[in-house]
């Protein structure tokens, strides 16, 4: 393959705008085959050169797919003047073009997909696809005896909204009640409102699965990793359907 300018290659690798990558190169943050290269016009062979930014080898990926363990306290938005967002958890060079698939409340933790693939995001969020989402919640208050059955039938929220059939499993009873809830839709504050409709209050909430993909237990809150090829294939096929 013909050799191309280093700044052009880094832009192509989604490391930043042409101007941004030129500044990174001049600052000595970029190495080619292990040696710092400060000349943005240096020519490299994109097929054979190992180009790293801040010590991280950069590879060409047509699109990027990450699993993030969202911590409580950050908001699911790309940019916010007042609050930290999920994108602030990614290195600046990685952020360009990324967004979260769907949203979790500020106080919710757990699995959030972050990508630059608008088509996949749209497909996963489509109300017609019924992609499953599994949450675990710590709950206060006594749940109605028929709560699981009402979830199964299609719960009616306090404001009259009718939910699709969902699954409620009690993982542990009072005083430290924990439940697992599987949904196939994503209404505003849905888990909190569903639990409220059967007499409880959600005091902690974590998403543990999306489209059949479990949250990687090795990811600490705030950490992320790329999806594996198998995970991506499952999501591209519309998500595993487990109920």
User: Residue 191, interface with ligand URA (CB under 6 A)?
Assistant: yes
Question: Could you tell me which stretch among 9-17, 144-152, 189-197, 210-218 binds ligand URA (CB under 6 A)?
Answer: 189-197
SS (H, E, C) the chain: CCCEEHHHHHHHCCCCCHHHHHHHHHCCCEEECCEECCCCCCEECCCCCCEEECCEECCCCCCCEEEEEECCCCECCCCCCCCCEHHHHCCHHHHCCCEECCCCCCCEEEEEEEECCHHHHHHHHCCCCCCCEEEEEEEECCCCCCHHHHHHHCCECCCCCECCCCEEEEEECCCCCEEEEEECCCCCCHHHHHHHHCCCEEEEEEEEEECCEECCCCCCCCCEEECCHHHHHHHHCCCCCCC
User: Residue 105, interface with ligand URA (CB under 6 A)?
Assistant: yes
User: Residue 69, interface with ligand URA (CB under 6 A)?
Assistant: no
User: Residue 132, interface with ligand URA (CB under 6 A)?
Assistant: no
User: Residue 32, interface with ligand URA (CB under 6 A)?
Assistant: no
Draw the binding track, 137-176, toward ligand URA (x: CB under 6 A; -: no contact).
----------------------------------------
Among 70, 95, 184, 192, binds ligand URA (CB under 6 A): 192
The number of residues that bind ligand URA (CB under 6 A) is 8
User: Residue 104, interface with ligand URA (CB under 6 A)?
Assistant: yes
Residues that bind ligand URA (CB under 6 A): 104-105, 108, 189-192, 205
């Amino acid at each position: 393959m013909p050799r191309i300018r280093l700044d052009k290659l880094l832009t192509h690798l989604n490391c930043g705008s042409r101007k941004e990558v030129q500044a990174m190169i001049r600052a000595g943050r970029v190495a080619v085959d292990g040696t710092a290269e400060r000349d943005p016009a240096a020519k490299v062979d994109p097929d054979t050169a190992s180009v790293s930014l801040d010590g991280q080898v950069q590879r060409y990926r047509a699109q990027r797919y990450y699993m993030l363990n969202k911590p409580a306290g950050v908001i699911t938005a790309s940019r916010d003047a007042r609050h930290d967002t999920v994108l602030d958890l990614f290195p600046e060079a990685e952020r360009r073009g990324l967004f979260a698939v769907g949203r979790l409340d500020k106080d919710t933790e757990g699995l959030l997909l972050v990508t630059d693939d608008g088509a996949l995001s749209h497909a996963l969020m489509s109300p017609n696809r019924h992609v499953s989402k599994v949450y675990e919640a710590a709950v206060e208050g006594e749940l109605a005896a028929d709560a699981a059955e009402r979830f199964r039938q299609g719960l009616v929220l306090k404001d009259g909204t009718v939910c699709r059939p969902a699954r409620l499993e009690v993982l542990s009873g009072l005083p430290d009640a924990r439940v697992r809830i599987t949904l196939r839709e994503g209404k505003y504050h849905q888990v909190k409102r569903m639990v409220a409709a059967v007499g409880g209050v959600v005091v902690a909430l974590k998403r543990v699965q999306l489209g059949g993909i479990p949250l990687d237990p090795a990811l600490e809150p705030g950490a992320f990793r790329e999806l594996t090829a198998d995970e991506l294939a499952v999501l591209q096929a519309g998500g595993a359907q487990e109920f």
